[in-house]
């Protein structure tokens, strides 16, 4: 029976470079109760996946490597690549993360080149972009990861961004629709979520005045931005149009929004 292990800056490298997929949660003792229970129980059931926790406040190198903010984050890691990321995770996030890890293991051979916590975070993000697994669920992006995970994520693939907050009722109504569409359009569009409370730099940069606000980027170009909790069919129309739209590749830009975590 496997237990959840505790990692730190000194022991992280060995686990990252292990042959097993890794479910790693960053926290400061503020995990949801349902998540903690599900995480422990699943660790005991899934012997072929390593389950680990790391305290953010005590391990700045690991926290910086993964661009972790102030809230708990669940990372699914395999073969030197971040396969899945869930901010403020719930227990229900674990089965999906496991599915994505197992799909990554089926698709990818073991990478013999080690990753270390001293590696530059931008280099790690670039590697993830070049070898990324197809998203089948929304991904959380932040002030510090937006450039790599949204603007520069992929040529020709639209990125639909949902600016939201946990207290927002219409945002909660939109969330399951985006979860569904992220799965249906996997490989054709990326769905990203920006918590405006945790990422004020992005909200200010894009002048987000009300939430939810839906934005679509393609080839580093903003092609749509409008507030509102749209019905599913409206989202489908937007996505279909974004996929078909021919957007020329722009010149190199310094479009990194100001304001980090």
Q: Give catalytic residues, as residue numbers.
A: 168, 171
Beta bridge partners of 52: 5, 24
Please say whether the beta carbons of 87 and 32 come within 8 A.
no
Closest residue by Cα to residue 122 from 155, 150, 144, 141 = 144
Please say whether the beta carbons of 105 and 14 come within 8 A.
no
Please say whether the beta carbons of 194 and 205 come within 8 A.
no
Q: What tokens appear for 193 in the block?
A: 């979520």
The number of helix segments (H) and strand segments (E) in the chain equals 9, 10
Q: What residues contact residue 111 under an 8 Å CB cut-off, 6+ apart? A: 79, 80
Q: What tokens appear for 240 in the block?
A: 């279909």
Please say whether the beta carbons of 178 and 70 come within 8 A.
no
- Alpha-carbon distance of 178 to 176, in angstroms, equals 5
- The C-alpha torsion from 172 through 70 and 117 to 44, rounded to 10°, is -60
Closest residue by Cα to residue 158 from 230, 208, 215 = 215
């Amino acid at each position: 029976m496997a237990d959840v292990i505790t990692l730190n800056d000194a022991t992280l490298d060995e686990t990252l470079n292990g042959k097993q997929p890794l479910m790693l949660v960053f926290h400061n003792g503020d995990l949801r109760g349902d998540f903690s229970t599900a995480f422990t129980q699943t660790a005991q059931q899934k012997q072929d996946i390593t389950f680990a926790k790391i305290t953010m406040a005590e391990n700045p190198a690991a926290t910086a490597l993964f661009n972790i903010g102030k809230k708990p984050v669940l990372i699914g890691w395999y073969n030197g690549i971040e396969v899945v990321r869930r901010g403020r995770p719930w227990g229900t996030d674990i089965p999906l993360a496991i599915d994505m890890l197992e799909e990554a293991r089926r698709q990818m051979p073991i990478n013999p080149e080690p990753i270390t916590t001293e590696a530059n975070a931008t280099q790690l993000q670039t590697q993830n972009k070049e070898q990324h697994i197809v998203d089948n669920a929304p991904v959380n992006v932040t002030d510090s990861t937006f450039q790599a995970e949204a603007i520069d994520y992929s040529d020709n693939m639209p990125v639909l961004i949902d600016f939201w907050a946990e207290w927002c009722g219409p945002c909660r109504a939109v969330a399951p629709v985006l979860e569904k569409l992220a799965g249906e359009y996997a490989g054709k569009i990326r769905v990203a979520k920006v918590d405006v409370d945790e990422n004020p730099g992005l909200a200010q940069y894009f002048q987000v005045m009300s939430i939810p606000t839906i934005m679509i980027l393609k080839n580093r170009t903003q092609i749509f931005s409008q507030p509102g909790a749209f019905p599913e069919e409206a989202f489908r129309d937007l996505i279909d149009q974004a996929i078909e739209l021919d957007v020329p590749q722009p010149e190199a830009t310094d479009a990194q929004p100001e304001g980090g975590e």
